[in-house]
Amino acid sequence: MFVGGPFCAPVFLAVMGYFLAVSSRPLGYFLKRGAILFLGGILLNTVRSANLLVHIFHGKYDLDPWFYILGADILTLAGLSLVLIGFLRTVFKENWLIYMITALAVAAVSPLLNQFGLYFPAYIMAFLWGTLEWSYFPLFPWFAYVLAGFSFRLFLTQTKIAGKIEVQSQVIYFIPLFIGVIITMPWASGITYTLDGANGYYHHGILFFGWVVLFMAAYLVLIKLIEHFYGDKSLFRGIKWVGKRVTSLYVIQWLIIGNIATWLYRSQDLFQFLAWFAAITIATLLTGWIFEKIRKLQTR
């Protein structure tokens, strides 16, 4: 909730799709990599909830452990998305328009699919669609953002429009996009901060998808302008370092917060929250830096 909503999962998934569009890997790679990511997501669910699962096993909490092990989160979504993109590439080739139409279709049908939930086992359905409590990032509607990023990269490559836009023009484009986002922000915030239900953030439809695409367009132009004027500053070099290692840092952060949550959940005041926030951020970055050093040593 800190800078959640469109800043997080949609951007992560769109960037993922953007870079997948330049991959020349065969279908087999997408299937293998997708399976690894999906199983890795299940493993992360288990390890980040290890402390809680131990308490459940010893009878301290009367909770369903599968709720935490088989939660449909961002890594399981990424795995399924890789598999689907691998198949779609063999059919759609490099037609950016078909990918964008498919993205809109995925977002549009997502609310309608909820009525078919009873035809699938709950823990399978959670990865596909529906409003189950442990279904945070199901394939519908979130796959639409992967497709949007994929389509956008193909569009840029085929039209070569990116190199034709001057900095002054970017400012001109940013202003109406920014105004559009601000005007519609009250409506979008109602969905962003509603995490449960068929019309909430995790299970939104095509209107919110369209708003997030508008937001990401403004965000993209803003980031390009920041990079142009301030990209060589220490702060932004640090942010880019984090961005390049987002998956490993994501995992490290979840291992920390997932396991201490059993002790600290809803027990901290504002000052304690801020202290934990700072400490966990520093610990995550430091652990990620050490992990990167070890990885480089192993590859030499």
Residues 156 and 291 in one domain: no
Among 209, 230, 251, give the residue marking a domain's end. Answer: 230
Strand, coil or helix: 135: strand
Q: Which of 170, 274, 152 is nearest to 227 (CA)?
A: 170
Among residues 230, 261, 276, which one ends one of the domains? 230
- The pLDDT tens digits of the residues spanning 18-47 come to 999 988 899 999 999 999 999 999 999 999
How confident is the model over 149-188, as pLDDT tens digits? 999 999 998 887 766 666 667 778 788 888 989 999 999 9
Does 161 fall in a domain?
A: yes
150 and 290 part of one domain: no
Q: Are residues 220 and 242 in the same domain?
A: no
DSSP state of 166: -
Q: Which domain holds residue 142?
A: 7-230
Residue with tokens 């909830």: 49
126 and 257 part of one domain: no
pLDDT, tens digit, for every residue of 74-113? Answer: 999 999 999 999 999 999 999 999 999 999 999 999 988 8
| 254 has a pLDDT exceeding 70 | yes
**For residues 239 and 237, what is the distance between their CA atoms, to the nearest angstrom?**
5
Instruction: Please give the Cα distance from 229 to 72 (Å, whole number).
Output: 39
Q: In sequence order, which residues have a C-beta less than 8 Å from that of residue 288 and are 6 or more positions away?
A: 242, 245, 248, 249, 252
